[in-house]
């Protein structure tokens, strides 16, 4: 579904953010991307929907060569790829429902965009997305009256309403407290399993990556240094991914071992 072949990303100042990336992501996978800040995690994610242009190699999404897309072709690609950010990117002074309906706007006729006219079917689509993340009762509440976790769920519902095949999530729980972060991760897990939707997530909290993802990709200095199942991760692997430091890991040895043991017992 997503294929990187020898992909490179070099910025105008000469900095090589991605180097020789070879990667295949299949339909329905839940992939966590971990590594130090500045390792290239966000760059890798944003190349998929062409927020960043690659400098070399080939990147394909559903056989489409992303590097060759321009204009309308890029917009068509992004309709099938939902993007969720740490900052939520919501309009806080309007209702939850109106924020979710924003995802439908690109597909609307021009005159309906101007006047903000939505059909009954579109409104039902937005309400169903809110129901999928458990906040249907907040549909007519202003966003600025919601908690951080609820706002992230609105952002997730907005993405679901566009009916994407892929969700890219860039540190979606970084600003949330531990309990709320787990609740939001549960939403991602349920959507992945129930809708067979591909999810790629950059995440600093390794404990959460191990608990909810099925595959982990470790990025170090712009290169993939680990790619495997959750139960293949150990302290030695983490030390290598993080340059033998614990910066940004958000994990401790006992918590990691407990998480892996729990997953193995379930399996």
Q: Which residues contact 153 (CB under 8 A, 6 or more apart)?
A: 133, 134, 135, 184, 187
The predicted pLDDT at position 121 comes to: 87
Q: Look at residue 121 and tell me if it is in a domain.
A: yes
Domains in the chain: how many in total?
1
Q: Look at residue 186 and tell me if it is in a domain.
A: no
Q: What is the DSSP letter of 79?
A: H
For 152, the enclosing helix (H) or strand (E) is helix 148-161
Distance CA(151)–CA(232), nearest Å, equals 34
Q: Look at residue 266 and tell me if it is in a domain.
A: no
The predicted pLDDT at position 25 comes to: 96
Q: Look at residue 168 and tell me if it is in a domain.
A: no
The predicted pLDDT at position 118 comes to: 80
Q: Look at residue 139 and tell me if it is in a domain.
A: yes
- Cβ pair 59, 66 in contact under 8 A: yes
∠ CA 165-175-193, nearest 5°, is: 30
Per DSSP, the residues of 160-225 read: HHT--SEEEEESTTTTS-HHHHHHHHHHHHHHHHHH--EEEEE-S-HHHHHHH-SEEEEEETTEEE
Question: How many C-beta atoms lie closer than 10 Å to residue 91's C-beta?
Answer: 12
Q: For 16-36, b where at least 16 C-beta lie within 10 A, e where not — what string?
A: ebbbebeeebeeebbbbbbbb
For 21, the enclosing helix (H) or strand (E) is strand 16-25
Q: What is the pTM of this model?
A: 0.85
Q: Look at residue 210 and tell me if it is in a domain.
A: no
Mean of all residue pLDDT scores within the chain:
88
Whether 266 has a pLDDT exceeding 60, the answer reads no
* pLDDT interval class at 86 (50, 70, 90): confident
Q: Look at residue 103 and tell me if it is in a domain.
A: yes
The predicted pLDDT at position 171 comes to: 93
Whether 194 has a pLDDT exceeding 70, the answer reads yes
Domain range spanning residue 130?
Answer: 83-163
Q: Look at residue 141 and tell me if it is in a domain.
A: yes
Is beta strand 16-25 parallel, antiparallel or unpaired with respect to 2-10?
Answer: antiparallel
- pLDDT (average), residues 118-123: 86
The predicted pLDDT at position 79 comes to: 87
Q: How many CA atoms lie within 13 A of 227 on its CB side?
A: 9
For 265, the enclosing helix (H) or strand (E) is helix 253-266
The predicted pLDDT at position 1 comes to: 87
């Amino acid at each position: 579904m997503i294929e990187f072949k020898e992909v490179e990303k070099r910025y105008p100042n000469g900095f090589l953010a991605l180097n020789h990336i070879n990667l295949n992501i299949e339909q329905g996978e839940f992939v966590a991307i971990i590594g130090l800040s500045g390792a290239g995690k966000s760059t890798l994610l944003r190349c998929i929907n062409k927020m960043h242009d690659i400098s070399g190699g080939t990147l394909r999404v559903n056989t489409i060569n992303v590097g060759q897309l321009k204009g309308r072709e890029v917009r068509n690609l992004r309709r099938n790829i939902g993007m969720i950010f740490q900052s939520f990117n919501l309009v806080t002074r309007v209702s939850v429902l109106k924020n979710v309906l924003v995802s439908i706007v690109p597909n609307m006729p021009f005159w309906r965009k101007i006047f903000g006219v939505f059909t009954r079917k579109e409104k039902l689509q937005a309400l169903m997305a809110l129901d999928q993340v458990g906040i249907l009762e907040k549909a007519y509440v202003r966003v600025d009256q919601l908690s951080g976790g609820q706002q992230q769920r609105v952002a997730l519902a907005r993405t679901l309403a566009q009916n994407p095949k892929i969700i890219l999530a860039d540190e979606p729980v970084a600003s949330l407290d531990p309990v709320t972060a787990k609740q939001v991760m549960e939403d991602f897990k349920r959507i992945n399993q129930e809708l067979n939707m591909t999810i790629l997530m950059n995440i600093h909290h390794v404990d959460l990556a191990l608990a909810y993802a099925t595959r982990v990709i470790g990025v170090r200095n712009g290169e993939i240094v680990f790619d495997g199942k959750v139960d293949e991760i150990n302290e030695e692997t983490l030390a290598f991914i993080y340059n033998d430091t614990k910066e940004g890991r958000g994990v401790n040895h006992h918590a990691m071992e407990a998480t892996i043991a729990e997953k193995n017992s379930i399996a």
